[in-house]
Amino acid sequence: MIQVKRVYEPAAASDGQRILVERLWPRGIRKQSLQIDAWTKDAAPSPELRKWFAHDPAKWPESRRRYSRELDANPQAWQLILKAAAEGHQVSLIYSSHDREHNNAVALRDYLEKKLATRTGELRKTA
């Protein structure tokens, strides 16, 4: 299972594997205080896409499409996250945006869940 969680929320045992999915380190957070298992900068949107989106909810649908294309072109950035989720591990994508609905972690979770569903469907066909 893949969930999203703000970087400012306290870590919990139920988070499972905590993966920071931001290109930049979150403001106001000391590296020693953030409990993460990995930081996958390359799974975050490109600087150009991040600047273009500029946290504008009106641009959200197009931002998701563009981000999906970036993820399609860079599978090594998210393969380990997908593998952990496929093996049944709880994964928490940690993000810093104030907007809980329109952020890269939400888009990444949805992207990976589609990949998991496709993978599960393919496994059923071959069984």
30-84 per-position pLDDT tens digit: 988 899 999 999 999 999 999 999 999 999 999 999 999 999 999 999 999 999 9
- Per-residue burial over 14-52, b if 16 or more Cβ lie within 10 Å, else e, is ebbbbbbbbbeebeeeeeeebebeebbeebbbeeebbee
Whole-prediction pTM value? 0.91
Residues 6+ apart with CB under 8 A from 33: none
pLDDT at 127 over 60: no
Rounded to 5 degrees, φ, ψ at 84 are: -60, -45
End-to-end CA distance of the chain: 22
